[in-house]
Structure 1
């Protein structure tokens, strides 16, 4: 019995250290657009990476959990694009993004698309 408890404790400690060491955090994202059907994208900039790729999240409405690495992150941006409309971009300082997520338990954005 003592051996099982000790083994369980060690396993839980390793799991906790692995999760904390990765610098990743699951973030609940909720992105709508007016009108719906715009393509939603995510970009995380890190120190020393001036041109990171945009990650396609899907057409709006988008409701998902995304694993994001925050170690060394400087900014987090969301963008929506739709033919015939101007693209809309919202950018956060990485620390403010995490602070907003902690406060509301999700990141929610509803951009109004403007016709070209």
Structure 2
């Protein structure tokens, strides 16, 4: 399953994710400067949360791109299953709240199930 027959040839080794994010940032900053909005007073903890959230998102996109460009669908699946758990952990920190045990049991069952599928299909 490491070298998928379809995914890698379709990408042709190119990746436009960085270009997309730069173009989106430029468009949003232009829109901001053309509007009459003022920049909010940002607290240091909010800036730290923003940096951590942006870092986690960037790592997620790096994982997806690596999986797609190399055809490594096993890596892509691992990133896919870990993303919701990491975002839930981030939400717990930001919102200063907790999730019930049912969520964590479900996350553990999905993870266990995906590991069973991987074990059954490996060569």
Instruction: Report the TM range for the smaller structure's normalisation.
Output: under 0.3
Greater RCO between the two (CA within 8 Å, min separation 6)? 2
**Taking structure 1 as the reference length, what is the TM-score of the superposition?**
0.22
The alignment's TM-score, normalised by the length of structure 2, stands at 0.21
